[in-house]
Every structure is written in C-alpha cells, then in structure tokens.
Amino acid sequence: MKVAIPRALLAGSLLIAFVVDVGRAAEKAAPTVPARELRAKVEYCKTCHGLSGEGYRGSFPMPRLAGQQTEYFENQLRAFIEKRRENRYMFNVAHVLTPEMLSALAAQFADLNPKPLGGAPKEGVATGKKIYEEGVPDASIPPCATCHGPDAKGNGLFPRLAGQLHDYMVRKLANWSKERGQDPSNPDNSLIMEPIAHSLTEPQIKAVAAYLSNLE
C-alpha cells in the first residue's frame, strides 16, 4: 500500500537534505580537459550568454552564467541532459558534453565577474529587497536569503541570483512548473522552489527580480 506524501512535506524534507549536503560538501577540482577544447566550448557558450558570461538581452533573455555556483551549474546541465529541465536548445548543447567538460565549464564561468547588465525598473527594488531578506510570512514564503545567501551569491546547489537578468528571472519564476521538475520519478531541488514560485504574485516576482538584477 502506497502512502501519499504531501508535497509541502516532501519539499521541506528535500530542503533539509540539500542544506545538509551543501554544508558537508568539499570543494572538488574540475577535471582536466584539453585547453583548446575547453576554449572552444566557452566561446560557443558566449555566443548566447555574453562575452563575459554576463547574459544577453535579445528576443529572449539569456541568463548570466558568470559567477554561478559550480555545483548548481553542473546540476542544471545534467538536468537538461536527463530531461528533468525542459529546453530543447539546451538539451542539444548539453547532451554532447562529457562529465569532465561539464565540470570544466562550470569552473570557467564561476571565475568570471562582470558588472550586471541591470536595466530593471527601479520602483520595485525596495519591495524586492524586503521579500528577499524577510520573505512573505502571510503567504508562508520564506526569505530567499535562506538558501541563496545574504548576498544572493548562492551556495552549492542553490544558484547565484545576484546580477541575473530581471526579465529572465521573471520568465522562469512565472513558468516554473513548465520547465523544471519534469521527471517526477527523479526529483531534484527544483521541487523546493515550486511552491514558492507558485505562491509569489506577479508584482512580487518582478520586485524580487528587480532587486537582484543590480546586485554585484
């Protein structure tokens, strides 16, 4: 007889597990790959994500990769490969990468630190800062800083949000379940964000994104 586990309880359990794992994880050196191959892959990534990995604002906002947590970076590329995260283009890019190249790319972009592109509306910044630091208690939304850190630079499996393009964050949070957690049999830390993304209103999402987009 199968016992149904409430989604909120499962998400909370995953959050605890991930925090413990992140706290215990030791830094891992990226495996060596031929320099020419790595350089070619990095240049390929930069055609969409900006010359310094700062992101690009075109027809569709391309996310900032610079300064991203290596563990999160690798996990997301594997999520594309394993169809846990839906993005046809990124699947085509990622599924040909070796595990060694995944690690090398993550380390390469983690070392970049260009200025944020900015460009977000200013009027929501104060509200976004409050939500990031204090959450929305009335809606049972915890502070974003709990997982992403007081400076929004992330931690292990929890991504850096500082300097991320605001329009990219708005699109991802507003459409969370359409892209993330696409393999229920293989849940990952996207499950932690699902109830939070669903609980945030559109103005709250835009405010948080505006605040984070200008952080360095």
pTM higher than 0.85, yes or no?
no
Judge whether residue 105 has pLDDT over 90: yes
- Bridge partner list, 30: none
Q: Where do the H-state alpha helices sit in the chain? A: 7-24, 35-49, 70-81, 88-94, 99-110, 125-134, 145-148, 166-174, 176-179, 190-199, 202-213
pLDDT mean over 61-84: 97
Distance CA 186, CA 204 (A): 30
Q: How confident is the model at residue 15 (pLDDT cuts 50, 70, 90)?
A: very low
What's the pLDDT score for residue 17? 44
Owning domain of residue 52: 7-15+29-213
Q: How confident is the model at residue 104 (pLDDT cuts 50, 70, 90)?
A: very high
Amino acid letter, residue 208: V
Kindly report the average pLDDT of the chain as a whole number.
88
Distance CA 10, CA 17 (A): 11
Angle at 174 between CA 4 and CA 209, to 5 degrees: 120
Residue 22 domain-assigned (yes or no): no
Residue 1 domain-assigned (yes or no): no
Mean pLDDT is lowest, of 12-26, 94-108, 121-135, 184-198, for 12-26
Residue 46 domain-assigned (yes or no): yes
pLDDT, tens digit, for every residue of 127-154?
999 999 999 999 999 999 999 999 999 9
The domain tally of the chain equals 1
Residue 145 domain-assigned (yes or no): yes
What's the pLDDT score for residue 2? 44
b or e along 123-161 (b: 16 or more beta carbons within 10 Å of the residue's beta carbon)? ebbebbbebbeebbeeeebebbbebbbeebbbbbbbbbb
Residue 20 domain-assigned (yes or no): no
Residue 117 domain-assigned (yes or no): yes
What's the pLDDT score for residue 112? 96
Judge whether residue 23 has pLDDT over 80: no
CATH number at residue 158: 1.10.760.10
What's the pLDDT score for residue 6? 52
Both tokens assigned to 120: 């977000």
Judge whether residue 24 has pLDDT over 60: no
Q: How confident is the model at residue 32 (pLDDT cuts 50, 70, 90)?
A: confident
Residue 2 domain-assigned (yes or no): no
What's the pLDDT score for residue 31? 54
Give me the residue label for tokens 């400076």: 151
Residue 48 domain-assigned (yes or no): yes
